[in-house]
Amino acid sequence: AKVLTLLGIESSCDDSAAALVCLDGERGEVLSSIVMGQEELHAAFGGVVPEIAARAHAEKLDLAVEAALAEAGLRLAEVDGIAVTAGPGLIGGVLSGVMLAKGLAAATGKPLVGVNHLAGHALTPRLTDGLAFPYLMLLVSGGHCQFLVVRSATEFSRLGGTIDDAPGEAFDKAARLLGLPQPGGPAVEAAAATGDAARFSLPRPLLDRPGCDMSFSGLKTALLRARDRLVEAQGGLTAQDVADLSAGFQTAVAEILSAKATRALRLYMEEAPAAPALAVAGGVAANGAIRSALEEAAAQAGARFAAPPLKLCTDNAAMIAYAGALRLSLGLTDDLTLSARPRWPL
C-alpha cells in the first residue's frame, strides 16, 4: 500500500490542534503534533465559553498548522490529504476547523477527510499500541464516558455509557465543591493521595443494575452533602477533610468504572477476540487509581491493557490525522459540502 501522510486539524473543544501523521501499511507514525490550549481565556468563567473558543480557534488554527508542518519538516504540497474533526463538539469551533480544512483542500487539490472526534480517540490505541481489531475501549474525559468495541476504522459498537455527567466533569465539579483548582481531576487526585477513602461512605450509582451504563451525578450530590455536614458542624473544612473527601470520591469513580469495565469485558470476550485488549483514552485515564483499577479488571478478564501516552489520550490532532489516513486508505473522502455536526454519535 502507498504511504499516506495526512495533516489533521482538531478544534471541537478548547484545544486548537494540528498534526502530521504518516500511515505505512498497518503502521502509523506521528510526525508532529501541536496542541494550543485556551485555558487562560476560559479560566475566569469556570468553564469553556463557546464564543470565545470559536474566535480563539479562528486565530490559532493557522499557526498550529504552520507549526505542525514546520516540526515535521514538510510543506503542505507534500501531504496526501487533509483530515478534520467534523463533530461532535462545540459548533463554532468545529466550523472553524472545517472551514480551514476546506480552504486548504480547495487551494491544494488534496482530498478532504471529515473525521468523527470520538473515532479519533477510539482508534488511538491502534496507533500507539498496535492493538488488533476488535478491541474494547473506554473513553473517559471531561465530556465523554463510553465503552466501545472498536471493530475497524469505521465500525464501532457502543456497549454503554454515562446517563448524566462524564467522570472528568464530575472531578471538576468535585474540585469546585472542595475549593480545589481547575482542572479538577489532577487536583482531586493530588489531594486524595493523603486521604482516607473509607471515612465517608459515598454511593456507587447504577452498580446494582445490569448493563454497562454509568451515572456520576448522584456521587457529586453525595459529596456536596458530606461537605455541607462538615461545614455546618465545624465551620469549614480542614486539609484532612478535603483529602478524605477527595479519596472517597476518587475511589467511588474508580470502582464504578472498573465494575462496569468488568461487565463490558465479559460481553466483549463472548466474541472470542484473537488478541483481547482493553484500552483507555481521555483525560481521566491520567488518574493513577482509575488506571490501576482498570488494569486489574483487564487482567482478571485475561485481556491486555493499553493506555496511550497522555498527550495522545487527551484532545489532539494526531488522532484525527491517523483516523483520516485510515479512512483515506479505504477511499473514504469528503467533498466541499462536508458539514460541521455538533452531535454525531459513532
The footprint of ligand KG4 (CB under 6 A) covers 13, 141-143, 168-169, 171-172, 183-186, 189, 282-284, 286-287, 314-315
Binding-site residue ranges: 117, 121, 139-143, 172, 185, 189, 287, 315
Shortest distance, position 90 Cβ to Zn ion, whole Å:
11
Shortest distance, position 335 Cβ to ligand KG4, whole Å:
28
By CB under 5 A, which span of 107-115, 124-132, 231-239, 313-321 interacts with Zn ion? 313-321
Shortest distance, position 182 Cβ to ligand KG4, whole Å:
7
Strand order in the sheet with 135-140: 156-161, 145-150, 135-140, 277-281, 304-306
Between 69 and 285, name the residue whose CB sits nearer to ligand KG4: 285
> Site map for Zn ion, 262-301, x if CB under 5 A?
----------------------------------------
How many Cα atoms within 13 Å fall on the side-chain side of residue 235?
0
Q: For Zn ion, which residue of 10, 165, 315, 334 counts as binding (CB under 5 A)?
A: 315
By CB under 5 A, which span of 34-42, 186-194, 224-232, 310-318 interacts with Zn ion? 310-318
Binding-site residue ranges for substrate: 139-143, 172, 185, 189, 287
* Residues at the contact surface with Zn ion, assessed by CB under 5 A: 315
